[in-house]
C-alpha cells in the first residue's frame, strides 16, 4: 500500500528529527518541541493523498491544489494554434504541493528556465521567475502547456517527466517545494470550467472541457 507522503520531503523530516534528538540529549527541551512541531508541519506539507482520478478524454484537470487566480485568453505561440486560455493556480504553504498531469497524452517537450524568486501570485512571476514548462499532447493532437513556477519561498522545482513519456490524466509528474503556482495554457478547443477565486484540487477539479473535435 502506498504511503500518502512525497519522498521528496524525507530529507527535511530526517534532519528535523535528528536535530530534535540532539537537542533532547542536550536538555534543550523547548527547542525539541519546536523541532517536533516543525516535523509535523513538514509531514503535512509533503503529504501526497491517494486520489481516484475519473476524467474523460474531453476534460482537462487541475495540475495542482490551490486557488485559481487567473483565467484569461492568451496568445501563446509555443502551442499549436497559438491561442488559448491561461489558468493559474496559486499554491499556499497549506496546500498539497504534488503536481499532476492535466490530461492523458505524450510529453512533447520539457524546458527549465532559470530566473528570479518574486512572489508567485504576481502576474510577472510567470515571465521572470525560475520555472519549468512542459507540453503534453493528447489523442486529439491538442497541445496543453503547463508551467511550474517557483515563488518567493519556493526554490526547488521537481519534474519527473521527459519528452516522449506517456502520462495519464492525474498522474504525478513532480512538485514545487514550499509554495508557488502552476500555469496551464489550454487550446482554443477547450472552454474554461472555473473562475477566479475557485478552489482547485490536483487530479480532481476540471479546469476546462473540450468543445470542438475538428482535429480527431
Which residues are catalytic, by number? 180
Say whether 73 sits in a helix, a strand or coil: strand
Identify any residues that bridge with 60 across adjacent strands, giving them in sequence order.
208
Which of 181, 200, 183, 169 is closest to 86 using CA atoms? 183
Task: Cell numbers for 4, please give them.
Answer: 500518502
DSSP 175-199: EEETSEEEEEEEETTEEE---TT-E
Nearest to 90 by CA among 207, 179, 192: 179
Cell 495554457 belongs to: 185
Amino acid at each position: 500500500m502506498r504511503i500518502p507522503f512525497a519522498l521528496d520531503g524525507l530529507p527535511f523530516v530526517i534532519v528535523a528529527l535528528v536535530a530534535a534528538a540532539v537537542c533532547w540529549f542536550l536538555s534543550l527541551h523547548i527547542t525539541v518541541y519546536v523541532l517536533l512541531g516543525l516535523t509535523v508541519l513538514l509531514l503535512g506539507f509533503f503529504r501526497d493523498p491517494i486520489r481516484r482520478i475519473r476524467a474523460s478524454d474531453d476534460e482537462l484537470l487541475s495540475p495542482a491544489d490551490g486557488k485559481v487566480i487567473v483565467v484569461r485568453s492568451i496568445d501563446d505561440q509555443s502551442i499549436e494554434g497559438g491561442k488559448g486560455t491561461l489558468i493559474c493556480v496559486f499554491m499556499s504553504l497549506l496546500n498539497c504541493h504534488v503536481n499532476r498531469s492535466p490530461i492523458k497524452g505524450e510529453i512533447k517537450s520539457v524546458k527549465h528556465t532559470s530566473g528570479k524568486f518574486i512572489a508567485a501570485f504576481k502576474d510577472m512571476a510567470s515571465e521572470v521567475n525560475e520555472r519549468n514548462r512542459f507540453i503534453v499532447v493528447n489523442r486529439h493532437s491538442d497541445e496543453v502547456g503547463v508551467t511550474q513556477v517557483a515563488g518567493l519561498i519556493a526554490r526547488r522545482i521537481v519534474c519527473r517527466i521527459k519528452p516522449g513519456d506517456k502520462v495519464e490524466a492525474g498522474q504525478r509528474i513532480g512538485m514545487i517545494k514550499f509554495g508557488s503556482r502552476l500555469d496551464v495554457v489550454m487550446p482554443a478547443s477547450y472552454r474554461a470550467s472555473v473562475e477566479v477565486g475557485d478552489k482547485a484540487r490536483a487530479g480532481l477539479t476540471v479546469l476546462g472541457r473540450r468543445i470542438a473535435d475538428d482535429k480527431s
